[in-house]
Homo-oligomer: A and B are copies of this chain.
Amino acid sequence: MKNIVETLKTLKLKVTPARIAILEIFSISDKPLSVEIIAKRMKDKQINQVTIYRTIESLVSAGIVGRIDLRRDAIFYELIDEHHHHHIVCTKCGLLEDFETCQIEEVSKNIILKSKKFKMIQDHSFELFGICNSCSRKNV
């Protein structure tokens, strides 16, 4: 994410303290974040939790933030990366790793060809779940 203010202007979103703060937190992190985590990372800023929810919603609608179900206790969000990717999640401890090969182009092309009900796919979820090496060692 180059310049946050410029990005917001390009998207025709008002440049507000909440949007700047949240986009800053996202751009520093290389991992998906929950609302709870974002709230904790607001140092001095002090932004209402409802505002965080609403701000994230606006960023998701604008198409620069993605929503991910990692099968944990809350929804996670991350900046939509130039490198399209997904995640492997440890179902014990939540450890994350990215992966980039999802072959969505071929798969969705194929599916659209066969489908009678859909002509267009906008989005997809694809996450892998397993036990990480560290957790595997723990319960032998």
Contacts and interface: CB of A to CB of B under 8 A. Distances in A.
Interface in A105-140: 106-108, 110-111, 114-134, 136
A97 interface: yes
B129 A126 contact: no
A27 to B, nearest CB: 24
Interface string A9-24: 0000000000000000
Given A124-B127, A125-B126, A126-B126, A132 B117 contact: yes
B95 A111 contact: no
Interface residues of A, number: 39
A115 to B, nearest CB: 6
B101 A128 contact: no
A88 B108 CA distance: 10
Contacts of A101: 107, 110-111
Interface in A46-99: 67, 69, 71, 88, 90-91, 95, 97, 99
Contact of A121 (B67, B88, B124): B88
B115 A121 contact: no
B118 A130 contact: yes
